[in-house]
Structure 1
Amino acid sequence: MDGYTPKPEHRIADEASLRKLFAPTHDLAIQKCRASLSEHAQAFIRRSPFLCIGTQSADGRADVSPRGDPAGFVQILDERTLAIPDRPGNNRLDTLVNIVANPTVGLLFIIPGFDDTLRINGQAIVVDDPDLLAGMAIQDKAPKVAIVVTVTEVFMHCAKAFRRSHLWDPDHFQDRSSMPSLVKIILDDTTGAPEDAKEMRALDEALEQGYQNACIDSCAPCGLHRWPAWPMRLP
């Protein structure tokens, strides 16, 4: 498949040309942006068990990563400062490495069942302060580091995207079995998955067990370590 290259006259290359295509921004959409966390924003964060964090590397390569824990896992240190625990993962460290190189971050907080979301932009640092980390422990396991975000912009985002996608509507839920498992997808795209169904099922079951231990053990074995051509562990 060849890449898409638009004709020069169809490429929007500056902000003025872009804004000509749209109606002016509504005053309320501008006024709603705040530089600190209001009472409502703080209440939203305390209810949220999930967020996405967007970062960029020093050379501008973008990344978005999910973060999830029991509701209220993000600590509100004051009206302009948040702390996000970094739980055990696959040790790629994409988000953390990016923040060390480029502190600008964007956060999207999501609450199951809510169509509204909360957007926060700010500047982040990675810290290993034991006093802070101790308050983020789960089952007596504190994270190795936390992401501390100084808020520069915060505002609620409307429900249109969630309404259009029917994200929380069970009638629109898709059957996960209609696609291969995560393990099979990764192996198909790399070293090749085992052809034996029993062996493949064992890998899938091991991944599920790894999920159960993910909040406790860094890089909990997912079963891929049993596959000779695949040394990696997830999550």
Structure 2
Amino acid sequence: MKEFKLNPDFAIADELALRGLFEATHALAVQKCQDSLGKHAQEFIRRSPFLCIGTQSPDGKADVSPRGDPVGFVKILDERTLAIPDRPGNNRLDSLVNILANPNVGLLFIIPGFDDTLRVNGQASLTTDPDLLQSMSVNDRAPKLAIVVEVNEVFLHCAKAFRRSHLWDPGHFQDRSEMPSLVKIILDQTTGAPSDENEMRKIDADLEDAYKRTLY
């Protein structure tokens, strides 16, 4: 594939040039932004089994991480504070390390079947408060820590992206088998995947077994 290079003649370099491409922001788009969790935002969060958290590393590199659990896994501590349990993962700890260096985070809450999403921005901190962690136990297993977010910006995002993508439409679902498995992709990119199909199937099966044993 030929390397792409941006033509500087068409680059947008400042906010004035950017805003010149668009109509003025609708008044409601500005007014809808709240500084705390109202009743509708709280209800949305209680229904959500999934969110993405955006963080930034000390050297300015952006990162987005998915978080999922049973419906309502994010605890609403008060109108300005949320707590997100940190479940077992790959132990890269990218988001957590980033939060220690830069507490500013962005959250996107998603509810299956809903085309609108909830955006929450704020400052995060990490805690091992045993009472809080115990309250977020699943299958009698408490998380090792929680991400506590002090909320300063909340608003619902419109449905256009989900409508355009047909995200929840089964008629647009793709066949996962048309791409290699997760493990094979990673092995292809690193040490190399085994050529023997039976060996590869065993590695895939081991991952599925690990999912069952280590979700919590």
Q: TM-score band, normalised by the shorter chain?
A: over 0.9
Matches within 5 A, 1:182-197: 182-197=182-197
Instruction: Map residues 194-205 of structure 1 onto 2, 5 A cutoff.
Output: 194-205=194-205
SS at match of 2:190: coil
TM-score scaled by length of structure 1? 0.90
Q: Unaligned regions of 5+ residues in structure 1, if any?
A: 217-235
SS of structure 1 residue aligned to 2:41: helix
How far is 1:5 from its partner? 2.7
Any residues of structure 2 matched to 1:140-179 within 5 Å, and which? 140-179=140-179
Q: Aligned to 2:40, what secondary structure does the other structure show?
A: helix
5 Å matches for 1:206-225? 206-216=206-216
Shift of 1:59: 1.1
Aligned to 1:57: 57
Identity across matched positions, percent:
72
| Cα offset, 1:211, TM superposition | 1.3
Match of 2:72 in 1: 72
Q: Distance in 1 between matches of 2:3 and 2:22?
A: 27
Q: Which amino acid aligns with 1:152?
A: N
What TM-score, normalized to structure 2? Answer: 0.98
Alpha-carbon contact 1:138-1:215 (below 8 Å) kept: no
The structural deviation recorded for 1:4 is 2.9
List aligned pairs for 1:4-43, cutoff 5 A. Answer: 4-43=4-43
Aligned partner of residue 150 in structure 1, secondary structure: strand
- The reply to whether residue 107 of structure 1 matches residue 75 of structure 2 is no
CA RMSD of superposed structures (Å) = 0.9
Runs of 4+ in 1 over 6 A off after TM superposition: none
**CA–CA separation in structure 2 for the residues paired with 1:37 and 1:84:** 15
Q: Distance in 1 between matches of 2:208 and 2:114?
A: 27
Q: Which amino acid aligns with 1:187?
A: L
3-state SS of 1:72 partner: coil
Unaligned runs of 5+ in 2: none
Mapped to 1, the partners of 2:59 and 2:13 lie a distance apart of 21
Structure 2 residue identity aligned to 1:66: P
In 1: Cα distance, 2:7 partner to 2:188 partner:
36
Measure the CA separation in 2 of the matches of 1:160 and 1:11: 26
* Cα distance in 2 for residues equivalent to 1:199 and 1:9: 52
Which 10-residue stretch deviates more, 203-212 or 183-192? Answer: 203-212
Cα pair 1:119 1:156 within 8 Å, conserved: yes
Distance 2:62 2:35 in 1: 24
* Residue 103 (structure 2) pairs with residue 139 (structure 1): no
Match of 2:180 in 1: 180
Residue 214 of structure 1: how far off its partner (Å): 2.5
Amino acid at match of 1:133: L
Deviations 1:66-125 (Å, cap 9, x if unpaired)? Answer: 000000000000000000000000100000000000000000000000001000010000
SS, match of residue 200 in structure 1: helix
Maintained 8 Å contact 1:46/1:72:
yes
- In the alignment, residue 79 of structure 1 is paired with which amino acid? E
* Residue 88 of structure 2 is aligned to residue 88 of structure 1: yes
Secondary structure of the structure 2 residue equivalent to 1:54: strand
Describe the SS at the equivalent of 1:66.
Answer: strand
**Separation in structure 1 between the aligned mates of residue 214 and residue 37 of structure 2, nearest angstrom:** 31
SS in 1 for 2:53: strand
| 1:174 partner letter | Q
Find the aligned partners of 1:213 and 1:20 in 2 and give their Cα distance: 54
Aligned length: 216
